[in-house]
Amino acid sequence: MAEPTSTTAAVATVATAALSTSALTAFGVPLGLRVDLLIAGFAGSLVAIILLDAVPGSSDTWRELLRTTCRRIAVAVASSLTAGYLTPLAMLIAAVPESLLLGSAFAVGGGAQQVLMFAIRRLSGQAGTPPAPPPTGATP
């Protein structure tokens, strides 16, 4: 049998590394998060922020721009964490094939607020009840 060429060995190494994604660890504590799901969720949150205007700006003062930037960063981090933790659970519940995992993480990252509210309602047993309307601000 012939020796594998360097290109074949490089492709095999990259494929093996891609298949063996490890869980993220912080301060020696395994978080149970897969890096590929975090990146896909982060990309989905960027699409939601940019295209869907999930965090709209209010004015052009430097304080408002700083506040909006901080909110957008927080939304992106929270969305990727939501995608990292909820995507495997949603895939397990919905019995979706493993090949759709990264696409699902992207979608969860894009709609993290709605996905999280649905998951909380579903797990708390309030799936059939509609959410309470926001207060109108008028006093009786």
Task: State pLDDT tens for residues 62-117.
Answer: 888 888 888 888 888 988 888 888 888 888 888 888 888 888 888 888 888 888 88
Distance (Å, whole) CA 110 – CA 106: 6
Report, as an integer, the average pLDDT of 24-41: 79
What 3-state DSSP class applies to 63? helix
When divided into structural domains, the chain yields a total of 1
Q: Is residue 2 part of a domain?
A: no
Between residues 20 and 78, which one has the greater pLDDT?
Answer: 78
Residue 18 has pLDDT above 50, yes or no: no
Q: Is residue 111 part of a domain?
A: yes
Q: Is residue 23 part of a domain?
A: no
Domain that holds residue 69: 31-124
Tokens 């149970």, residue?
32
- pLDDT score for 49: 84
- pLDDT score for 5: 57
Residue 9 has pLDDT above 60, yes or no: no
Question: Which amino acid, residue 32?
Answer: G
Q: Is residue 138 part of a domain?
A: no
Q: CA nearest 91: which of 79, 104, 82, 78?
A: 104
Q: Is residue 21 part of a domain?
A: no
- Alpha-carbon Rg for the chain in angstroms: 20
Report, as an integer, the average pLDDT of 47-71: 82
- Dihedral sign for Cα atoms in the order 95, 101, 103, 106: positive
Q: Is residue 13 part of a domain?
A: no
Q: Is residue 140 part of a domain?
A: no
Q: Is residue 20 part of a domain?
A: no
